[in-house]
Structure 1
Amino acid sequence: MILVLMMTIMTLVITNLVMFINLMLYKKSLMDREKITPFECGFDPKSSPRMPFSLKFFLIAVIFLIFDIEIALLLPMMPTMISSNMMQWMTTIITFIIILIMGLYHEWNQGALNWV
């Protein structure tokens, strides 16, 4: 029991020591002006590094990821068709595809697919 208590105390001391050392080194690197400025081939930047980002790109990327993951979920269902009950398999696939089509219709209805 005492061994477990000593190991716990040593673990806490070591982790707190490492965190304290990290905090001290991090503060020193924040004070360096050259390290916090943006870098463009050795020259000072000509424009603001915080350029506005088009939300359309983000929405299209999210929609792509959602449908990509759903296709990745559909692919393993094909080999299971042979070993499962056909009625349950068809019900599952049709339900899944209907949910996909409803999501696509919702995105289309909300105007997320319009690029104007």
Structure 2
Amino acid sequence: MFDLSHYLPILMFLGVALLLSSAFVFLPMIVGRLTGAHQPTEQKLSEYECGFPAFEDPRSQFDVRFYLIAILFIIFDLEAAFLYPWAVSVFTLGWTAWISMMVFIAELALGLVYAWKKGALDWE
């Protein structure tokens, strides 16, 4: 009923991709073990942070405000990524593209005002 031979190139591509990705992950580890580069010592296994041992637990939790600032940065960074291609092609796309981008920018501005009013941008 279905001719599955059309999917053979896709399966071959996936097989080659799996083989190459596995080789890039496991071959350096194997070569390191065989050549003797893997010789763990106490000094090699110690934590290293900016030239001195860590003075805090590495699993300590960050403040939630750090994540809020990071998410807001990503949102407004994506806005900049959308603005450049739009600005290049706005004259060929017409008024529809201009209106849609103005709605998009207005939504982001409302989000920024909301985050500002809620104190998400305040840092103590």
> Under a length normalisation based on structure 1, what TM-score does the superposition of the two structures give?
0.55
Percent sequence identity is 32
1:38 aligns with 2:47: yes
Equivalence map 1:76-91=2 (5 Å):
76-86=85-95, 88-91=96-99
* Contact 2:65/2:120, CA 8 A, preserved across alignment: yes
Q: RMSD over aligned Cα, in angstroms? A: 3.9
* Contact 1:38/1:49, CA 8 A, preserved across alignment: no
Q: Kindly provide the CA deviation profile for residues 2-46 of structure 1, in whole angstroms up to 9, marking residues without a partner as x.
A: xxxxxx9xxxxxx8xxx8xx8xx8xxx8x9766554236997x47
Larger radius of gyration: 1
Equivalence map 1:19-98=2 (5 Å):
36-39=45-48, 45=53, 47-50=55-58, 52=60, 53-86=62-95, 88-98=96-106
Could you tell me which runs of 5 or more consecutive residues in structure 2 were left unpaired when the two chains were aligned.
Answer: 1-14, 16-21
* Contact 1:107/1:113, CA 8 A, preserved across alignment: yes
Equivalence map 1:5-20=2 (5 Å):
none
> Under a length normalisation based on structure 2, what TM-score does the superposition of the two structures give?
0.52
Equivalent residue letter for 1:80? S
| CA distance in structure 1 between the aligned counterparts of 2:49 and 2:80, rounded to whole angstroms | 40
Q: How many residue pairs get matched?
A: 99
Change (3 A) 1:67 1:46: closer
Equivalent residue letter for 2:58? R
| CA distance in structure 1 between the aligned counterparts of 2:50 and 2:103, rounded to whole angstroms | 54
| CA distance in structure 2 between the aligned counterparts of 1:91 and 1:41, rounded to whole angstroms | 49
| CA distance in structure 1 between the aligned counterparts of 2:107 and 2:56, rounded to whole angstroms | 43
2:113 to 77, 91, 105: 105
